[in-house]
Amino acid sequence: MSADDAGGSALAAAWVFLPVIGAFLAHAPVLRFDLLPWLARPIDAGATFRGRRLLGANKTWRGALAMAGGVLGAALVLARAPWFWSRLPAEIRAAGALRYALLLALGTVLAELPNSFLKRQLDIEPGAQRPSIGGRLLSILDQGDFVFGAWLLLAPVWVMSPLEAAVAFVVVVSVHLVVNVIGYAIGARKSAM
């Protein structure tokens, strides 16, 4: 593979994650207007490990369903747009829009859980950051953790190279930071990070 092919492939990987914006577009109004309050129940049901919550009160069924639905919907809508669909890796296009959308949605939601578990075990409150290099690195990981979840879940249809994953992670983290600032500005988030 030439350097140009590798660069093009890495950019195609970043396009794979564009529908994840649907998670934030669906979740922000749900939080802002307290929609579906009966689903605002913690996924971990209050369970603990070493005296600390598994995931915490912020990881709810409402959030998981809203985010998964947002990714699924965005992926299916974008898949109908030739300018988007043609940029995706051939393997994903061959798998079809529905399979891609379902795997991306599931990977996006499931990838949030290990980082939440780690943060709870380190006594880091949701939305908080430790004022250390490790704390900042954990916050950066938190912004792009779904790249790794999608990498794993999309593997049956498309295997991302380490370069593709790195480029996708950088692009996703950058976009996620902008979305967080906007979410904070409109009152959907308690912090901009």
Domain boundaries, the chain: 13-185
Question: What is the per-residue burial (b if ≥16 Cβ within 10 Å, else e) of 167-184?
Answer: bbbebbbebbbebbeebe
Residues 193, 129: contact at Cβ < 8 Å? yes
Q: What is the pLDDT of residues 135-192, one digit of tens each?
A: 888 888 888 898 999 999 999 999 999 999 999 999 888 887 887 788 778 776 666 6
Is residue 103 exposed (0-12), middle (13-18) or buried (19+ Cβ within 10 Å)? buried
pTM score: 0.87
Instruction: Choose the most confident range, by mean pLDDT, from 33-42, 116-125, 162-171.
Output: 33-42
Q: What is the pLDDT of residue 39?
A: 97
Percent of the chain exceeding pLDDT 90 equals 63
Q: What is the pLDDT of residue 191?
A: 66
